[in-house]
Chains A and B, each alone.
Chain A
């Protein structure tokens, strides 16, 4: 056959290229957005790279800092080391109750600047979270 078949083949090729292009785009974005879990020490060394750190919230350490308009708090790892974390998003409603907090961001200037905070609530099954993105 002629035109319809060739036209169809053309569309397949275009579609294939488009899909391949999109997959490449997706893969790049994937790599760019991977945030590995690291310990406090590694986070401090990693500096500008975006990483995740998990730790326990040090009770009573959360406070609002007027000057920088940020939430500041201390995180404690299983070995007992602490790290200062700063976060400028809205404070999650159950922050104080959190058994464990995961901060996503990078270390800089004496504290871990978190762009995203995940708060694990003590309940066994359900939980909740906070992130500043949509």
Chain B
């Protein structure tokens, strides 16, 4: 293992352990231990930071001795992806989590004041549980049984789907969110221990809001990545890994509102304690679900049993026991009061909101755990499909929207003055909005109800934002603004999902096709730089007349040698146009119209044309970097036209020889190409493409048999084995005797088998026949029969199939609102966070309660 890194991890573990013990001793009464506890904590944080820096260093310097570096990076990865490789794998992502948690503990230590020993005791325990994982699964381990000569020269590289800016920031933000949730957890347990049930609530709120902000942003970042990169057209699949991060977020949202409620009404203490504890426990459970492999068959995310299942179960059990134990122990002592607010008061609606959030969280949790639950009564574990979440979620969302909409009209004790009138206005506007939606094509009474209530919540909260801003209370508008964002998202979820239209279409190159009102033309493949991925260029004309070009990608992933596709999305105000490439068909090559074999200086005829092979041209042999180009100079003389010099070429590189045709001026689609070359004998075989012609005869002949075509008689002379071809494979010669006007000419076609098992046929050109060729089809060597096809350039050709692109086109109405809603919600939470930042410092416990500090006025 890479000793510096591993030692640092072990050091962090031991220091964390020491800090926990010191805090425990400080709790027992001897305050002197606190200083040592703090010092060890700071040292532990330093160790974690340095260990992270070490891992980053190893990644950036491509130290492939370390297994982690080889597994997730390679030499070609640009800097920002090298950085993100830090959290590409399990150990690195845990280290990232530990990093955040350790760093967050520093201000926590400072602000917790008199709660510090107990809060830090529990906080340290949560940290240690993660560090222990790193001790067990060392990110710095070398490859098994590595010797100096076996260090890989290059790594396996980062999964190309992770090479995306959204995937670079998604995990750090996510783990910051997870790390933040340990703070209210620790505070709740400390509060239970100390029997002080109010202060913790006020102090935790900023941390809870921070967690809500980061976790929510991280979840939506993941969704956006999925939408933009994966090509299936969605952003949320109800996959267990996704749900596992959603459930703690819902619990956190409930907790945030519960804490505000407690702050205002000095009630609901038990509720908040339960919520704070379970928010963290759900994070632990989520970690268990996603990394233990129990859901291996039910999720597209991580499957490999990563070797830590036992530890994760122990972790869950430990924290569950400790927290629920403390809760149960103190339950009866916790002061509770019942209130007497009427139904239409903010208090009641806050509670309802908490209930709906918790209910939604439970629903998602149960659905996600279905494979575990169904194991109890079914022989085979089963999963619930997305329809479950959508079906059950719809009424919950409607209920939620109604609540969100009513809240701005309510005060803590009663409905606000004049609420009735304003409520009526907002309801009226919502009905108008629903009507508009119906006019635009929304249907289904449940859907319309959903849209109406979402509109209601948006409008009511917009009014509340304006009202609050008018009074100059900027930060207080944060809550309402985030509700606007949530309402917008709720609206967008339904509209973009239910009213999404999609169609698959084949676009032949150059042809305009109408798809759902859009006119699309596939223009071909474009590769702007050698490193870029092939873009399928599609010109689109929207129904409103706007012209734009979209470029979905289709390329081969070198690591897996498979085709990968990426969609292109064009966002309009009201909808997104989503193009996902499905298949590309290269179409048919222009058929060969005629073949001529010429020696240097020789002239051959093709219909009434004369072609002369002038010689080879090596002057631009290095025109293509890394390959060798040979040109063949041909003079084309056509009656009534100037002679033309054409130079088709062959580019030989490691991958093989590729002929490069040149178009024949004055003929649409006509080209001349080198079919074969024999430099030592000075011969070339020229192929004329796209000039018409077809197969005139397709006959199977045995030795001695012949067929007639025009003034020609073609007789099969029997197979001959030739000597080894230059590649070492046996070549089969297929000679024919062609008789015309009494003269017999022998022409030989040949077949040889390539090393990879395919057969290559070299057709025979009939001299003096204007480009006619004999091509070989099926060979029956045992019985000495051969299928021969006579190609006559004078025949009319079949119509060609051009290259075509199959696309999945979808129109997703209002999907932009999902992202706009997210941004609004994020800004709103951030504003609310700013409002509460002063709550970070705990009010010291007054003297007379045994803690030794004077009480400061005010809260």
- B-binding residues in A (CB < 8 A): 4, 8, 11, 19, 22, 25-26, 29-30, 32-38, 50, 52, 54, 63-64, 66, 69-71, 88-97, 102, 104, 116, 118-134
Contact = CB atoms under 8 A, between A and B. Distances in A.
Given A71-B582, A125-B88, A34 B382 contact: yes
Contacts of A70: 504
A118 B367 contact: no
Q: Which 5 A-B pairs have the closest CB atoms?
A: A134-B497, A130-B232, A93-B231, A129-B300, A36-B382
12 contacts: A26-B366, A36-B378, A64-B506, A71-B582, A93-B565, A93-B580, A95-B565, A97-B560, A125-B90, A128-B161, A129-B300, A132-B232
B239 A129 contact: yes
A88 B503 CA distance: 9
Secondary structure of the A contact surface, majority rule: mixed
Contact of B161 (A11, A26, A37, A126): A126
A96 B562 contact: yes
A50 B232 contact: no
Interface in B367-401: 367, 370, 374, 378, 380-388, 390-392, 395
Nearest to B381: A37
B533 to A, nearest CB: 12
A33 B230 contact: no
A122 B374 CA distance: 28
Nearest to B232: A130
Interface string B490-529: 0001101110101110100000000000000000000000
Nearest to B386: A133
Contacts of B366: 26, 30
Given A64-B583, A127-B300, A127-B302, A94 B385 contact: no
Secondary structure of the B contact surface, majority rule: mixed
Interface of B: 71, 88-90, 93, 159, 161-162, 226, 229-234, 236-239, 297, 299-304, 338, 340, 343, 359, 363, 366-367, 370, 374, 378, 380-388, 390-392, 395, 493-494, 496-498, 500, 502-504, 506, 557, 560, 562-567, 580, 582-583, 806, 808, 810
A93 B385 contact: no
Contacts of A129: 226, 230, 232, 237, 239, 300-301
Given A34-B370, A66-B506, A50 B385 contact: yes
Contacts of A130: 230-232, 234, 237
A26 B583 contact: no
A38 B382 CA distance: 9
B397 to A, nearest CB: 12
B297 A37 contact: yes
Nearest to A90: B808
Contacts of A95: 565
Contact of B810 (A26, A69, A90): A90
B233 A132 contact: yes
Contacts of B340: 4
A101 B386 CA distance: 17
Given A11-B343, A133-B390, A35 B300 contact: no
Contact of A93 (B304, B494, B566): B566
